[in-house]
């Protein structure tokens, strides 16, 4: 269980039981490699790699600097490439599974000015497909989850408190999803029950992205 906020990782590890919390910087390749080494040292192998990193950067397109673009892509796409590269030798030995968390912002305009987020998550989608097809014959599967509106701490931080109900109303189901909806999808994609699902972009949004 690798997280930038070690407290969050420890709380999650405690809920899972038998897990180890490790801090790492997804934008630092050496930090990622060290974290992967720590995981292997603790557990002896890697069967599943789950990349769940995403940071929206709001703003008008013309306001973003080159440094903003580099940081956004480092956080939302390049970091996942680093973790996959570091974990790949171990995943090849275990015939493992990769699950990357993207966003419906990768496939449609969400009504918010997130040019960097949209572009970097779209890149993550195609990175997932490229890795999935390159390594399929070697027993690796790679898929991505594209969540829609979720009632999470980060989601609430993006809007005013009185806008949460409005986010609920935007969903065709009348209610946002939550972290468990994404977690359940990830568990399925990583499991043997999904053994013939590869290079798939699984939308988890209550039907929002199908709405005109």
Q: Name the residues annotated as catalytic.
A: 117
Phi, psi of 15 (to 5 degrees): -70, -35
What is the DSSP code (8-state) at residue 200? -
128 and 36 in a single domain? The answer is: no
119 and 102 in a single domain? The answer is: yes
147 three-state secondary structure: strand
* Domain around 125: 46-210
20 and 115 in a single domain? The answer is: no
Q: Where does the chain show beta strands of DSSP type E?
A: 2-3, 22-23, 48-51, 97-101, 141-147, 201-204
CATH classification of the domain holding 98: 3.40.50.720
What predicted TM-score, i.e. pTM, was given to this entire model? Answer: 0.92
Q: What is the pLDDT of residues 1-54, one digit of tens each?
A: 666 678 888 898 898 888 999 999 999 999 999 999 999 999 999 999 999 998
Q: What is the pLDDT of residues 42-93, one digit of tens each?
A: 999 999 999 999 889 999 999 999 999 999 999 999 999 999 999 999 999 9
């Amino acid at each position: 269980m690798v997280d930038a906020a070690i407290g969050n990782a420890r709380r999650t590890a405690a809920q899972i039981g038998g897990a180890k919390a490790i801090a790492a910087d997804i934008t630092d390749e050496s930090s990622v490699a060290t974290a992967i080494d720590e995981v292997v040292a603790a557990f002896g192998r890697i069967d599943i790699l789950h990349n769940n990193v995403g940071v929206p950067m709001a703003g008008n397109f013309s306001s973003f600097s080159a440094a903003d673009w580099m940081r956004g892509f480092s956080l939302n796409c390049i970091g996942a490439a680093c973790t996959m590269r570091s974990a790949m030798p171990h995943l090849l030995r275990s015939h493992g599974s990769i699950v990357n968390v993207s966003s419906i912002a990768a496939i449609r305009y969400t009504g918010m000015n997130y040019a960097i987020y949209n572009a970097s998550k779209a890149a993550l989608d195609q990175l997932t497909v490229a890795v999935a097809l390159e390594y399929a014959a070697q027993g690796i599967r790679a898929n991505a989850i594209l969540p829609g509106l979720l009632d999470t701490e980060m989601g609430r931080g993006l809007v005013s408190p009185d806008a949460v109900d409005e986010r609920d109303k935007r969903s065709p189901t009348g209610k946002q999803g939550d972290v468990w909806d994404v977690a359940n999808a990830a568990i399925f994609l990583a499991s043997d029950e999904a053994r013939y699902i590869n290079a798939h972009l699984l939308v988890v949004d209550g039907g929002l992205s199908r709405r005109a």
